[in-house]
């Protein structure tokens, strides 16, 4: 590659201009008598070709390295490349409207049907809420038969030292539940939870304790979850403010109506209720 040394090429150009052999020119004129006169004009400067070659050779010998130098002037730089895999371009699809959260949807439906809904951050806060309900309504005792709730009561010293109370002489009862169906405000109970509701001695008020894992969107989702956990057992539904007091079928599967009090509270806890370690 030729060097871009400007001074060197200027010198070569100067030599070519000063040493150039100019062609002869003729000047033609016509005299008064009509005779044609031709005059040959000699160039002012004229150099021999040998002298011109010698001067160019001397100029080139002074800086031969600038004429052609591949090692210094050529620099190979790596070109950054990247591999792009061919992929199918998917058309843009408008996102569906975001539905309300499951807890809000359930609370809305449940309250519309006549239920009472409370939200708590933790099990400890849920016990404190229950204690306020007990004081507000003048309940002497809140009965429970599930160990997870007994553990929570013991951790908060709730109803500590209460003796002689059974389901018959309690003012309210509290239990867990299986699922909360957001679309319809329905509560699903397992057989042990539902059986006590049917007792004639069951308290007038029942509090249902649930955590966020109990929330499901539809009735079908709730039933699928129940049958996976309780194979061979029948679910019971709590449907407030309905005329249906009997059992019904869903896809040839029997669904029981959890008969009992309709004075219901649902306390939803924003954390998982740990299983009890009691035997």
Per-residue pLDDT reduced to its tens digit, 206-224: 999 999 999 999 999 999 9
In this structure, the answer to whether residues 19 and 122 fall within a common structural domain is no
**Beta-carbon-side half-sphere exposure of residue 178 (alpha carbons within 13 Å):** 27
Tokens of 35: 């005779």
Q: DSSP 3-state helix, strand, coil percentages of the chain (rounded to 5)?
A: 35, 20, 45
Neighbours of 76 (CB within 10 A): 5
Give residue 250's pLDDT band: very low, low, confident or very high (50, 70, 90): confident
Question: Does residue 232 lie in a domain region?
Answer: yes
How many structural domains are present in the chain? 2
68 and 191 within one domain: no
pTM: 0.64
Residues 57 and 150 in one domain: no
Contacts of 142 (CB under 8 A, 6+ apart): 130, 134, 159, 170, 171, 172, 173, 174, 207
Is-contact 237 188, C-beta < 8 A? yes
Do 231 and 151 share a structural domain?
yes
pLDDT tens digits, one per residue of 136-193 = 999 999 999 999 999 999 999 999 888 889 999 999 999 999 999 999 999 999 998 9
**Under DSSP, is residue 238 helix (H, G, I), strand (E, B) or coil?**
strand
Domain span at residue 21 reads: 6-73
């Amino acid at each position: 590659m030729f060097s871009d040394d400007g001074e060197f090429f200027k010198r070569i150009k100067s030599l070519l201009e000063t040493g150039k052999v100019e062609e002869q020119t003729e000047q033609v004129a016509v005299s008064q008598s009509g005779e044609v006169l031709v005059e040959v004009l000699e160039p002012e400067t004229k150099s021999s070709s040998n002298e011109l070659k010698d001067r160019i050779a001397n100029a080139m010998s002074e800086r031969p390295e600038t004429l052609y130098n591949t090692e210094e002037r050529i620099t190979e730089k790596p070109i950054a490349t990247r591999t792009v895999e061919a992929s199918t371009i998917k058309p843009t699809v408008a996102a569906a409207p975001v539905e309300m959260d499951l807890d809000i949807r359930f609370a809305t439906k449940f309250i519309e049907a006549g239920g009472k809904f409370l939200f708590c951050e933790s099990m400890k806060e849920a016990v404190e809420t229950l204690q306020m309900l007990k004081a507000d309504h003048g309940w002497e005792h809140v009965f429970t038969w599930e160990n997870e709730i007994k553990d929570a009561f013991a951790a908060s010293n709730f109803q500590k030292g209460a003796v002689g109370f059974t389901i018959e002489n309690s003012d309210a009862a509290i239990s867990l539940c299986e699922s909360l169906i957001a679309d319809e405000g329905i509560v699903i109970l397992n057989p042990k939870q539902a059986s006590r509701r049917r007792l004639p001695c069951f308290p007038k008020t029942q509090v249902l304790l649930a955590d966020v894992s109990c929330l499901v969107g539809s009735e079908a989702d709730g039933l699928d979850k129940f049958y996976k956990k309780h194979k061979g057992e029948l679910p019971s539904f709590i449907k407030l403010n309905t005329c249906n007091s009997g059992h019904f079928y869903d896809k040839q599967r029997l669904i029981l109506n959890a008969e009992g009090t309709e004075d219901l509270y649902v306390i939803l806890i924003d954390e998982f209720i740990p299983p009890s370690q009691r035997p």
